[in-house]
Amino acid sequence: GNSVTQMEGPVTLSEEAFLTINCTYTATGYPSLFWYVQYPGEGLQLLLKATKADDKGSNKGFEATYRKETTSFHLEKGSVQVSDSAVYFCALSDTGTASKLTFGTGTRLQVTL
């Protein structure tokens, strides 16, 4: 079956630090990969996505590249802000199953001044 493994948090960084949150996956087909962000007390918002190998998703300074050879989709940001403090979820959906997302356990990011 499908699975997503994320690095455990919490991750605590100072403002303007470089961020990497690791994500690896196992899938039987050709999945699309997503990063969702959840701010305190809110629902999940799509941060970025990639639908095929070597695609790079990007949004709000965050980037992630779909690496089929290493089955990874690591999230990066060059300079984090306090407002980036949230929980980040890596997820995949397999071929023809858009509503059936498989999520990682989430990584909490805390950015301090």
Partner 1 sequence: NAGVTQTPKFQVLKTGQSMTLQCAQDMNHEYMSWYRQDPGMGLRLIHYSVGAGITDQGEVPNGYNVSRSTTEDFPLRLLSAAPSQTSVYFCASSRTHDSGNTIYFGEGSWLTVV
Q: Which residues bind partner 1 (CB under 8 A)?
A: 4, 31-32, 34, 36, 42-46, 49, 51, 89, 91, 93-101, 103-106
Question: Nearer Cβ to partner 1, position 49 or 77?
Answer: 49
Considering the complex, what minimum distance in angstroms separates the CB of residue 113 from partner 1? 28
Of residues 19 and 23, the one with the C-beta less far from partner 1: 23
Q: Minimum distance between the CB of residue 103 and partner 1, rounded to whole angstroms?
A: 4
Question: How many angstroms separate the CA atoms of 31 and 2, rounded?
Answer: 9
Non-local (6+) Cβ contacts of 73 within 8 A are: 23, 24, 25, 33, 35, 50, 64, 65, 66, 67, 90
Minimum Å distance from CB 92 to partner 1?
8
Backbone CA torsion sign across 31, 46, 42, 10: positive
* Cβ proximity to partner 1, 80 vs 102, nearer residue: 102
As a dihedral over the C-alpha atoms of residue 78, residue 54, residue 87, residue 92, rounded to 10 degrees, the angle is: 180
Q: Which is nearer to partner 1, 70 or 99 (CB)?
A: 99
